[in-house]
Each structure stands twice: as C-alpha cells, then as structure tokens.
Structure 1
C-alpha cells in the first residue's frame, strides 16, 4: 500500500494536485490561526460582530464583481488554446471595467446602510476598504492563476498576507490589549493591498505581447455567461457566509462567533474542494477545449485518488480532535464540538464529490449549475428557520450539512449526464472493477 501511495505521488498531475492542496491547507492553517487569535484578542460579542461583518463583506465582494472572476477563468483558457490574443485582451478590458463599476456600487451600498445604522465611521471605512481589496484579489487571482501560476494567484489571495496579520495579532496578545473589529479589518486591508500590488506586477510582466494587439469583443456572449456566473457566485457566497449572518440575527453575536469558528474549521474539507477547483480551473478547461479526452480522464482519476486520501485522514482528525480544535478559539467554544463534527461531515461529502462544479461551469454548462445552487440555498434557509428554534446552533449545522449532501449528489448526476465524466471518488471503485475506462468524455458544444 505504501508503495502504491509513493507511486501515485511520483506522477506530475498528482504532484500538481498535492501542491495545490498543500497551498490551500497552508492558507487554511493561517486562516485558522488568524481567527483563533482574533477570538482571543476580542470579547465574544466583538468577535461575533467581526465574523458577521466579514461575511457581509465577502458577499458584497462577490456581488460587486458581477461574475467577472469566473468569466475570466472560462474564456482566458478558451482563447489561449485557440491562440486568439485579441479576444484575450478584450475580455480582460471588459472584465476590469465591469468589475470596477460593480464594486463601486457594492461598496456605496455597504457604506449607506452602515451609516443609516449609525455605525462608527472608522468601522465603515475599514469594512469598505476590505471589501474592495478582497474583490481585487479575487479577480486578480483568477487572471494570475490562468496566465502566471497557481502560486501567484492563490498565494497572494489567501496565504502571504495572512502571515503579516497573524504576526500583528500575536503582538496584540502579548501586549494584553483587546482588538476592535475596525482595527482588524484595517490590518487585513493593508496586508491584502500589498499582495494585490505584487499580483498586478506579475500579471503585467506576462502581458507585453498584448500591447500591440487590437482588442476584440464578444460582449453579448460574455454578458450572457457573466450573468449566469454572477448568480452562481452569489449563491455560493450565500452558502459560505450567509449562515453566520442568520445565526447572528436569529440567536446572538457570541453564538454567531461560535458558528463561524466551527464552520471555518470544517472548511478543512472545503479547502480540499477549493484546491481541486483551483487545480481543475487551470488544467481541465484546456484539456476539454483541446478535446484531449484521455488526459482529461487521467487527470480526474488522479484527482479522485488524492481526494479520497485527504477526506479519510481529515475525518479522523476532526472526529478525534474536535473539542481541542475549538478550544483554541477559547474555552466557551469547545462545548460545541458536535457543531463542528456535523459541519465537517457535510464539507467532507462535498469534497468527495470532486470538482463537479468546476467541470460544469468551465465546460459551458453553467446554466445547469445555477438551479442546483439556488435549491441548496433555499433548502438551507428553510432548515435554519425550522431547526434553529428547536436545536439552536446545532440545528444550523444539521441544515447546512443536509443541503450540502443533496447538492453534491445533484451536481455529480448532472456532471455525468452533461459531460460524461464522474469527478467524484466513486470513479475509483469503477476503475478497480473494470479493465477499461470508467467513463467516456462527451465533448459538447459550448452553450453560452
């Protein structure tokens, strides 16, 4: 068995997936350190306020980008394979313009609502700055990932800036003072802005050949795809962040902070899904559009092998260490270990489902993806309304897990029907019982 695992990690694709997962796990570890230190540097209510405002800012970033970050992943790969530099320049210019306009509207809305609520001006300014810089990193990481490297894209978006913030939080704890949400948002915004500058410089350096190219535009085609990507992004953001807002509203700030901590820990498996999406977004579209069926199948199989290994080991860690992991946020967090375990089961199931969302969205089937995510959000909200009054924060965790399981199954069924591939870990059982290929890739015309 050990020999088989070593052989698996000698493969180029496996090393690529493993490297991306390590980057995600590293950034997730830093995020865990950041949030656990922040929880200890704030009062329970202040941390709950921070978690809720962070969730609102993340959703606002997605809304303001108007689907442009996914649009770039979709079309930069297609135009690169086809050698259409003029359309590459056109989609870059179009996306930058649309996202800038959208973010201005989104930030203005946040500032207006916060002002009406009588929030402190420094808190409004810091949350607005975080929203803008976060959106810039989201957009820049997609461009850098496609044109430079995964490290430049994801490293600056999720890893490097968190190191600086963690060091600041350690200094705050050693000084025995309490931090306010406004101060933490300010520190995060400054660190992220530095990462964005590095990202922009790296992108500009690989684009000199576009300066002499006359931009061409497929505006109607891009707008149709961007709208579907926008809806999908909003629904995905609601899945990730709206839970905390609802717990804050239906229960109290301190409980919202507990749910936030548990959900971030459960994201050990969501990080795996994100890593698979990151790797798949860079590799799968080019294989798909170049109709390299054999390599596409091979890549998906190796991704499933790494996924299965990570999911099994991660579940063991969470099951055994749940109270200890939550205890790092503070003593009152440790009592909610079952919230973490239930959430982890849902995110583990989602990770085992593989990059079905990436395959559907990046191969022109995004219109099939949106209804599933919408149903997922609706089911989760219904579960919150029914279960939170009965079971409290545990009811929120049960609702989130149930909706994830159902959505994962639906996405995998759609992925097999539309593209002919099984991206989940189940493909390994198919391969072990069959000498031939487990599936045949069906390349469909793009349905933009």
Structure 2
C-alpha cells in the first residue's frame, strides 16, 4: 500500500491537481481570514451590507463579461493546438472589445440602481470600481491560465491580492477601529488592480509575436458559444451569490451576513471544484482536441482519486471544527453550525461529481449544460420562497443543497452520455486502486 501511495503522489497529474488544490486552499484560507476579519471590524448590519454588495458586484462582473472569459478558454486551447496564430489574435481582440463595452453598461446599471436606492455616493463609487476591476481580473486569469500558468492566472485572481487586504484588516482590528463597507471594498479594489497589471505584463510576454499576423475571425462560432457560456456563467454566479441577496431581502442584513459566512466556509468543497476546473481547463482541452482519449480518461481518473481524499477530509473538518471556525466571525455566528453542515453536504456532493461542467463546456456540449444550471437556479429559488418563511436561514441552506445535488447528478449523467466519461469519484468503485500495476492492466483491457 505504501508503494502504491508513493507512486500515486509521483504521478504528473497528481502533482498538478494537488498543486492547484493547494493554491485554492491557500486562497480559500485568505478569503476566510478576510471575511472573518471584516465581520470583526464591522457592525453586524455593516457586514451584511458588505456581503450583499460584494455578491451583487460579482454577479454584475459576470454579466458584463458576456461569456468572453469562458469563450477564451474554449478557443485559445483549440487554436494553440492547431498553431492558428491568426485566429488566436482574432479571438483575443474580439473578446477584449466586447467585454469593455458590456462592462461599461453593467457598471452604469449598478450606478443607476444604487442612485435610485439613495445609497451613499462613496459606496456606489467603490462598488462600481470593484465590479470593473474584478471583471478584468476574471478575464485576465482565464487568458493567463491558458497562455502562462495556473499560478499566474488563479494566483493573481484569488491569492496574492488578498494578502495585502488581510494585513490591512489586521491593522484595523489591532487599532480597535471600525470599518464601513465602502472603505473595505475600496481597499480590495486597489489590491486587485495590482493583480490585473501583473497579468497584463505576463500575458504580453507569453503571447507569440502577433504584430504582423493578420487577425482572422470565426464570428458565427464565437457568437454561438459566447451566448451559451454567458447564460451558463450568469446562472453559475447566481448559484454562488444570489442566495445572499435573497436572504438579505427576505430576512435582514445580519442574517445575510451569517448566511454569507456559512456559505464561504462550506465553499471548502467549492474550492476543490474550482481547482479541478482550473486544472481541467488547462489540461483537458488540449488532450481532447489532439484526440488523446486514453490520456484524457487517465487524467480524469487520477483527478477523481485526489477528489475523494479531499472530500472525506473536508467533511471531517466541517463536522468537528465548524463551531470554532464560525466563532472566528463572531459569537452570534457559532450558533449556525447546522446551517454550515447542510451547506457543506451540498458542496461536497458537487465536488464529488468532478469537473463534469468543465468537460461539457470545453468539449463543445455547452448547450446541454445551460438548461441544467437554469433548472438548478429555479429549484433553489422555489426552495427559498417555500422554506425560508418556514425554517429561516436553515431553509435557505436546505434549498441550496438539494439544488446542488440535483444539478450534479444530471451533469454527470450528461457527461457519461455525451463525452463518454465518468468524471465523478464513483469511477473509483470500478478501479482496483491499490493493486500493483492496476492502471497498466486497465489500459490493456481497454485497448484489447
């Protein structure tokens, strides 16, 4: 068994997935520190307002990108495999132009809505700037991940900028001062801007010399894919952040802050899903488009092995350490351990499902993906309207978990039928994992 574990850890895919997961865990730990310190340096209502505006800004950023971030992942990998520099230049220029125009419209909509509500002008300015910079960081991370490295893409998007913000919050906490939501959002925006600049420099250096290359376009392909990616992205971000807005609207700011804190902790499994997506988005498309199906399936199996270990470990952490982790946000958060457990079950199921969403989108089946995510949002919304008046914030958690489980099962069934692979950890039930040379036997059986 020891020899098998050593061989498992030496595999290139294992190291790649583990490195990506460690990056996500590090960013998740910093996000946890950021939000817990924010809760400690704000009033309960202030933290709820902060959480609601951040959630709204995240949704606006995705809306403003109109699917271009996913479009670039899809086509940059295809064009790189085929050495199509003319199409690479074309899709980059097209995506940047479309994103800029759409982002201006999205920010203008935020300003208009906030003015109608009569919000403080500094909060409006901070949220607007955060929305634009966050969108730039999201778009840049997708390009950097494809052209440079996962560290440059995901590190700048989720890790490095949070270090400065956490240090700032520690100074505020030890100085016994209290922050307003607009102040923290402004500090976050400044820190993220540094990450955007770093990504621009790295991408410019990694791109081949395209100055003399004429740009070619495939507008019909790009428009069709972008529309489906856009709808899917909006539905995905709604799954992550619209909950907080609904809780704020149906209950109160303090409860919205509590739900936000519990959902961020439960996202220990969503981080695993994001890590798998990041690794899969960089490795799987090139294998798929080069028709290396054997390595494609091998990569998925090794990803499932890492996922299973992380899901079990994460559930133990949430079950035992949940109250202590919630208490870091404040004493009134610790009483919501049951909410955290319910949310964690849902995100654990989603993580155990593997990168099915990424496989469907990156292999050209994004049209099948969108209705599932739409149904997920619909199930969650109906659950909120029915369960929150009855069970309060626990009802919101139950609704979120049921909708995630539903979507995960359907996506895996679609992935098996359309792509011919099982990306979930269930694939391990058919694998003699700890038998020596088990994989080589499996390959032989497959090829015979």
**TM-score grouping bracket, smaller chain normalisation:** over 0.9
Alignment of 1:25-44 (within 5 A): 25-44=25-44
User: Residue 289 of structure 2 corresponds to which residue in structure 1?
Assistant: 289
- 2:129 — aligned with what? 129
Measure the CA separation in 1 of the matches of 2:142 and 2:186. Answer: 24
For the residues of structure 2 that align with 1:37 and 1:230, how far apart are their CA atoms?
33
Where does residue 218 of structure 2 map in the other structure? 218
Distance (whole Å) between structure 2 residues aligned to residue 126 and residue 220 of structure 1: 37
What residue number does 2:53 align with? 53
| Cα separation, 2, equivalents of 1:248 and 1:88 | 43
Q: 1:257: how far off?
A: 0.2
Deviation at residue 2 of structure 1 after TM alignment: 4.0
Instruction: For 1:201 and 1:411, locate their aligned partners in 2 and report how far apart those are by CA, in whole Å.
Output: 37
3-state SS of 1:421 partner:
coil
Equivalent residues in 2 for 1:216-295 (5 A)? 216-295=216-295
Q: Which residue of 2 aligns with 1:445?
A: none
Secondary structure in 2 matching 1:255 = helix
User: CA contact under 8 A between 1:430 and 1:438: conserved in structure 2?
Assistant: no
Q: Which residue of 2 aligns with 1:341?
A: 341
Measure the CA separation in 2 of the matches of 1:239 and 1:91.
28
1:444 maps to what in 2? none
Tell me the residue number matched to 2:393: 393
Uncovered stretches (5+) of structure 2, i.e. residues with no partner: none
SS in 2 for 1:210: coil
Deviation (angstroms), 1:438: 12
Match of 1:103 in 2: 103
Task: Report the aligned-residue RMSD.
Answer: 1.4
2:332 aligned counterpart, secondary structure:
helix
Distance 1:176 1:440 in 2: 64
Measure how far apart 1:212 and its partner are: 1.6
List per-residue Cα deviations over 1:22-56 (Å, max 9, x = no partner): 00000000000000000000000000000000000
- Separation of aligned partners in 1, 2:446 and 2:63: 37
2:353 corresponds in structure 1 to 353
Tell me the equivalent position of 1:24. Answer: 24
- CA shift digits 1:113-153 (9 cap, x unpaired): 10111111110000000000000000000000000000000
- Measured in 1, the distance between the counterparts of 2:444 and 2:397 equals 35
Q: Distance in 1 between matches of 2:279 and 2:2?
A: 25
Counterpart position of 1:183: 183
Q: TM-score, length-normalised on structure 1?
A: 0.97
Structure 1, unmatched stretches of 5+, are: 442-448
What is the match of residue 310 of structure 1?
Answer: 310
* Preserved contact between residue 427 and residue 438 of structure 1 (Cα < 8 Å): no
Cα 1:297–1:152 change in 2 (3 A) is same
Query: 1:275 is paired with a residue of what secondary structure?
Result: helix
Q: What is the deviation of 1:239?
A: 0.2
Which runs of at least 4 in structure 1 moved beyond 3 Å after TM superposition? Answer: 433-441
Asked if the contact 1:420–1:439 (Cα under 8 Å) also holds between the matched residues in 2, the reply is no
Which residue in the other structure is 2:83 paired with? 83
**Which residue is 1:320 aligned to?**
320
Distance 1:414 1:44, change over 3 A: same
Stretch of structure 1 that moved more, 212-221 or 280-289? 212-221
> For residues 304 and 110 of structure 1, what CA distance do their matches in structure 2 show?
40
